[in-house]
Amino acid sequence: MKSVWALKSNASPVRPCGPGSTITGGLPAEVVRAMALDWGVYIDAYLLDAARVGNRYAAIAFCDQSGASSNGMTVATPPVRHVATRGAFKLLQTLDGADSYVLVTEHDAGVVANGNGN
């Protein structure tokens, strides 16, 4: 018997943004290096030039798997905790454990930019 109900998948499609995809062209080199590492979890986005505000970050997002942000958009994370470090990169996880982000580069706390990129 054929069902009359249309079934929808509750799984999000994985956007092809990684070392094995053609989308790595145009990504910052640091993001490509972070993507090449095995983080052991699904990575929701890679964060560049992140600034910490309490337990949240404002950052430039790349490879946002939710599709809510395009590459290069500024985003604010929900509250996160640091769970692992690989070289210069940090794995962040939301407090409820639902999402994981890789912090690729971070502004130093307490350092004031001089307007010349420093």
Mean pLDDT of the region 33-49: 96
What pLDDT is stored for residue 2 in this prediction?
Answer: 44
Pairing of strands 89-94, 80-86: antiparallel
Q: Is 95 helix (H, G, I), strand (E, B) or coil?
A: coil
How far CA 87 is from CA of 3, 26, 47, 62, 83, in Å, comes to 52, 23, 15, 19, 13
Mean pLDDT of the region 15-33: 70
Residue 81: is its pLDDT beyond 90? yes
What pLDDT is stored for residue 110 in this prediction?
Answer: 58
Mean pLDDT of the region 99-118: 74
What pLDDT is stored for residue 48 in this prediction?
Answer: 96
Q: Where are the domains of the chain?
A: 29-103
* Residues 103, 80 contacting (CB under 8 angstroms): no
Measured distance CA(69)–CA(17) in Å, rounded = 13
Residue 46 or 17, more confident:
46
Q: Which tokens is 114 given?
A: 């001089």
What pLDDT is stored for residue 7 in this prediction?
Answer: 41
Residue 113 or 53, more confident:
53
Q: Is 76 helix (H, G, I), strand (E, B) or coil?
A: strand
What's the predicted TM-score (pTM) here?
0.75
Q: Which tokens is 90 given?
A: 């940090």
Q: Is 55 helix (H, G, I), strand (E, B) or coil?
A: coil
Pairing of strands 45-53, 73-76: unpaired
